[in-house]
Structure 1
Amino acid sequence: MTLELASDKIQNHVQKMGSFQIRALAVLMAMSFLNTPVVVLCSVFVLYTPSHRCYVPSIDDQNLSTSALGGKQSSSSINSNDFASVSNSSILYQHIPTEPGPDGNLRWSQCHIYVKGDNSSVSNRSQTTCVEGWVFDIDNHVFSAAMEFSLVCDQAYMAPLAPSLSMFGYMVGAMAGGYVSDRFGRQFTQLSTCLAVTLLTIILAFLPVWYAAYFLWFAMGCVVTSREISMMSLVNETTPSRYRHLVGTMIMLSAALGYMAVPGFSYIFPNWRHVLAVYGGLEVIVLLMTFFFVHESLSWLMQKNKAKKAKKLLLVMSKVNNFAIENTEILLKKNDTEEQDTSENKKTEENLSYSDLLTISFLRKRWAIFAIGWFAVTLAYYGLSLNTNNIGGNRYLANFIGAATELPGTLVCFLTMKKLGGRRSFMFTTGFSSVCLLITPLLEFGGKWFTITSTMLGKLLISGSLANLYIFTGELFPTLLRTQALGGCTFLARIAGILAPFMVFIGEELNPHIPYIVPGLVGLVATAAMFFLPETKFQPLPDTIEDAQNQERNSIRLSCAKKTVNNRSNENEDVLKPVLEIPNVETQSKKETCFE
């Protein structure tokens, strides 16, 4: 038994894009803007490790302003020429050995110093570790956590451990967040995760010891991905069908803009504590906006049979959108026509779970296909990101350009989804991207610009595929399983994210073409698998399992209708929409046939 809207008038108003929907979506866009910086800040800027050498008290005490950190000395400023070149006349030769750098040029040893008091020749002197601490080559007054807590040399492994744990947090949060959102509601998940992200960011900004950071970054990954997948479900359920792809694209564009803003914030606030404090302050603002402007999903309330809350939400919506409701008693009605049907596709229990994705046959097929798609796209996305050489020597510019490639990819996603629909849009972007990756090794004979162009085109298109999946996945699952389906797919996607660095490493060791060939082939498999899903263009978002199953039939109807109007100009949407508004008839055969 489920609730339904009682009048066509109310249904029409709910399906309009009024002030109620616009202000909620504005808050969700702000939330999306702040989601990406969490991991990017951690791996790129908070844990940035510049060139360094051992601290020499007899020399550096005269030239550097220092502060005692954990019993060691770390500099806050230094002449970068001491790192850019090794001068034969430098007095540091008496204290610090030299070693070849990544570019083949000599540099000061980053982890060793000559034993004090050893007066033998330089070539025969004994070496020891940096017992007095380190001096860092600093630009723009940068002060990172790696510098403050001396996460270098024998403790260098402690720096990349934080973003790795954050990625594992993404996996856990994808599963837990999907369950919490479908069980306790979208609004509860948004408020609780916003509060958690705010507290975690502020605590990290004032962290006294680094060991506690590992738990905090893991927890951050959990709550960020929970907020992300719940937000996409709320976007799908709050937005009228005709605007769903546009709004979903705007959410993804907000994430890309947030990614692009990270280098700017990090440049303005070079101290890692300051930039985290700024993001924590922004999260406080978003938390307050979420509390006042983001309400529960009406679809979720109706599927949960929460009549009182649904009526209250409708009254709030009517007040904000300025449409009158005369009688609150006829806002909702109960639909109990399904109570006698006990088949697996008519399951009406309120507490659906992950197990239903596996036990209901057509949902199992859909989830398996989407799992392949998410895995393939994530493997290609992170593989290309990790396998692309840094752009120049400016890390701020490099990260900005890398983030900027997300924008055209997201726009391609919107245009193709509007024109082709979710399924064919994915097949177009993923298939074309896979071809670009597979031909990249063949283009080496033409020079590096051919390979760079092919790789960047593949990255652009795969970014569009990723944006597509966030929107399209939610369109094929019922309300009470929507977020859990997204969570399960995101979980598998994070496995691909963990495997991507190893794929790049194997490519460096065995064959440089592996990072192109493997994701290219997997992408083609995902493209072929997506063919077996129904199209969602012009179809409403499914509320129940029955609605989701009827998408198969409606997809066939859509194909039939398109054949009948193929020669009519400027009438496609007007002709196709009524086809999908025909009530579902249980006795109608699932194997409908098109006749021209």
Structure 2
Amino acid sequence: MTIPWDSKANSWSSCTRLDANFTPEYFNSSITANKSVKCEKWIYDTSVYKSSAVTEFNLVCDDAHFRVMADSLFMVGALLGSIIFGDMSDRFGRRPIFFLSLVLQVVFGLLAAAATEYYTFMLCRLVIGSTTSGVFLVAYVIAMEMVGPTKRLYAGVVCQFFFTTGYILTAAFAYFIKDWRILQVALSAPGIVFLCYWWFVPESARWLITKGRGVEAKEILLKAAKENKVTIPEDILDNLLTKTGMANGDLPSEQGAREKKTRARKATLFHLFHYPNLRKRTLVILFSWFVNSGTYYGLSWNTSNLGGNDYINFLLAGAVEYPGYAFLLLTLNRWGRKAVLCGCMIVGGVALLLTSVVPSDMNWLIITLAMIGKMVITSSYGTVYVFSAEQFPTVVRNIGIGAASTSARIGGILAPYTLLLGDQWRPLPLLIYGALALCGGLLSLLLPETLNKKLPDTIEEGEMFGIKHKDDDALDGNMDDVFKN
């Protein structure tokens, strides 16, 4: 008798109550019938979650938008962290910045567990997001720089496998730890263990070479060769370092430094949008990163809206990433980047769009389609990293990837807010992700294939890359004849 009916939610209201107290004064007063007022306190269902930040800080009704703000700020932090810690790792080295990020991540993770009000909690989430970029991205770069060209795909996928393992362990921790503060501590404290990597992980030899510290790089390479039982003749190693002008720890020549600075001044983000072919490819790449990131994180955070068991849904959303990354190992160097990216995004888009026409009582089918979408979007997200780096000319490659990464972070920042649309119609977030993924897959057809192709170095080569000339077919035929003989 005291709770009004919410016609939008088609259920009794959780945010308002009837302004009635059943006292004589109430009945004798001239109060509008069925007048409702906002609730001041709430009683929460603790059958699934014993406690959460939502229930402790009352992030419901008019404050419901704060529920997604912490996730959005996490992605803002990831954007800032990729810029700040990325630049610092280029300046001061991969190793020290990795451990600085790790320490900050642990400290602010523990502070988040002790937050007494929501604004402090959100600030901690912002810092945790930035340090996550520092830890994961710098570790990823170290892995890439420790192996040769033929092993980079495998090294990158292995890094992602461990990321997925952490994803799955989060579901396991949450299942057994029902209190959100204890869960936050349990997820943050293990970072302390990785501080022991200080005695095992060396500085990147490639970074040392670029900084003119050839002697240190040589020592690391010789130690690595010894550990792997490989013999590297010192004359070959010295010759390699001599070509970079650093055999004895000498800095690169002043002329080389000036030329490098000149190239850096000439190549800017502006060049990617000044030339029509480069502009088209750049816009497609930026949109692809935006869609892949937004869809990936949106599907990860949307598991509680799929129906069924939240823990199982989250676990499945992580488990399907394993075949998604394994698929890349089997196909990326065989089928080409373009086919994999386009195919995965289209399949993912169609699967997510189909969730809107599935009857609500067939929840298992909705979950299945969502997991198919998550699996193939994982594959396309992994592909776009490699494909994009090969699309940009060498002189603007880092600039291009930086712009693409920024676009991805924007997609991640907006993803939590898209989930709020599920309160109006449950399939709507998946419908939006599906439409965007389908558009991204079709647009990727505009990109040229890069597998086994000579990559562009200059802006001019980048503008002409992928444009087929009349003489190309004749040239390809002549080359086929040469190799037949």
Give the TM bin, normalised by the shorter chain.
0.7 to 0.9
**Aligned-partner residue type, residue 203 of structure 2:** E
User: What is the aligned partner in structure 1 of residue 249 from structure 2?
Assistant: none
- Mapped to 1, the partners of 2:352 and 2:61 lie a distance apart of 37
- Mapped to 1, the partners of 2:266 and 2:158 lie a distance apart of 29
Q: CA deviation at 1:327?
A: 5.7
User: What is the aligned partner in structure 2 of residue 528 from structure 1?
Assistant: 445
More helix, by proportion: 2
Contact 1:384 1:459 in 2 (8 A): yes
Alignment identity in percent? 24
Superposition pairs of residues 492-507 of structure 1, within 5 angstroms: 492-499=407-414
Q: CA deviation at 1:534?
A: 2.6
Deviations 1:251-291 (A, max 9, x none): 222222222222211121111111111122111112332x2
Closer/same/farther in 2, CA of residues 536 and 198 from structure 1, 3 Å limit:
farther
Q: CA deviation at 1:462?
A: 1.9
Q: CA deviation at 1:320?
A: 3.4
Q: Please say if 1:490 is aligned against 2:409.
A: no
Contact 2:16 2:36 in 1 (8 A): no
Closer/same/farther in 2, CA of residues 284 and 103 from structure 1, 3 Å limit:
same
- Counterpart among 143, 162, 176 of residue 51 in structure 2: 143
- Mapped to 1, the partners of 2:418 and 2:116 lie a distance apart of 36
Q: CA deviation at 1:202?
A: 1.1
**Aligned-partner residue type, residue 305 of structure 1:** G
Closer/same/farther in 2, CA of residues 515 and 113 from structure 1, 3 Å limit:
same
- Counterpart among 239, 248, 264 of residue 147 in structure 2: 239
Q: CA deviation at 1:192?
A: 1.9
- Mapped to 2, the partners of 1:504 and 1:204 lie a distance apart of 23
- Mapped to 2, the partners of 1:517 and 1:268 lie a distance apart of 33
- Counterpart among 156, 173, 176 of residue 248 in structure 1: 156
Q: CA deviation at 1:301?
A: 1.9
- Mapped to 1, the partners of 2:474 and 2:44 lie a distance apart of 68
Contact 1:383 1:504 in 2 (8 A): yes
Contact 2:18 2:34 in 1 (8 A): no
**Aligned-partner residue type, residue 515 of structure 1:** I
Normalization by structure 2: what TM-score? Answer: 0.74
User: What is the aligned partner in structure 1 of residue 3 from structure 2?
Assistant: 97
User: What is the aligned partner in structure 2 of residue 179 from structure 1?
Assistant: 87
Q: CA deviation at 1:522?
A: 2.7
Contact 1:181 1:189 in 2 (8 A): yes
Closer/same/farther in 2, CA of residues 301 and 428 from structure 1, 3 Å limit:
farther
Q: Please say if 1:297 is aligned against 2:209.
A: no
Contact 2:5 2:12 in 1 (8 A): yes
- Mapped to 2, the partners of 1:443 and 1:130 lie a distance apart of 36
Deviations 1:287-324 (A, max 9, x none): 332x2222222222222322233133224424533456
Please give the secondary structure, in 1, of the residue aligned with 2:42: strand
Q: CA deviation at 1:545?
A: 5.6
Q: Please say if 1:377 is aligned against 2:282.
A: no
Structure 2: runs of 5+ lacking an equivalent? 246-251
Please give the secondary structure, in 2, of the residue aligned with 1:208: coil
Closer/same/farther in 2, CA of residues 198 and 484 from structure 1, 3 Å limit:
farther
Deviations 1:42-79 (A, max 9, x none): xxxxxxxxxxxxxxxxxxxxxxxxxxxxxxxxxxxxxx
**Aligned-partner residue type, residue 205 of structure 1:** A
Contact 2:94 2:142 in 1 (8 A): yes
**Aligned-partner residue type, residue 314 of structure 2:** N
Q: CA deviation at 1:440?
A: 7.8
**Aligned-partner residue type, residue 326 of structure 2:** L
Q: CA deviation at 1:491?
A: 1.0
- Mapped to 2, the partners of 1:416 and 1:367 lie a distance apart of 24
- Counterpart among 306, 314, 333 of residue 213 in structure 2: 306
Contact 1:300 1:480 in 2 (8 A): no
**Aligned-partner residue type, residue 445 of structure 2:** A
**Aligned-partner residue type, residue 110 of structure 2:** I
Please give the secondary structure, in 2, of the residue aligned with 1:420: coil
User: What is the aligned partner in structure 1 of residue 317 from structure 2?
Assistant: 402
Deviations 1:526-573 (A, max 9, x none): 422332x53258x9xx9x968x979x99xx9xx999989999xxxxxx
Please give the secondary structure, in 2, of the residue aligned with 1:137: coil
**Aligned-partner residue type, residue 133 of structure 2:** T
Superposition pairs of residues 260-279 of structure 1, within 5 angstroms: 260-279=168-187
Q: How many residues align?
A: 458
Q: CA deviation at 1:220?
A: 1.8
Structure 1: runs of 5+ lacking an equivalent? 1-92, 568-592
**Aligned-partner residue type, residue 207 of structure 2:** W
Contact 1:433 1:459 in 2 (8 A): yes
Please give the secondary structure, in 1, of the residue aligned with 2:217: helix
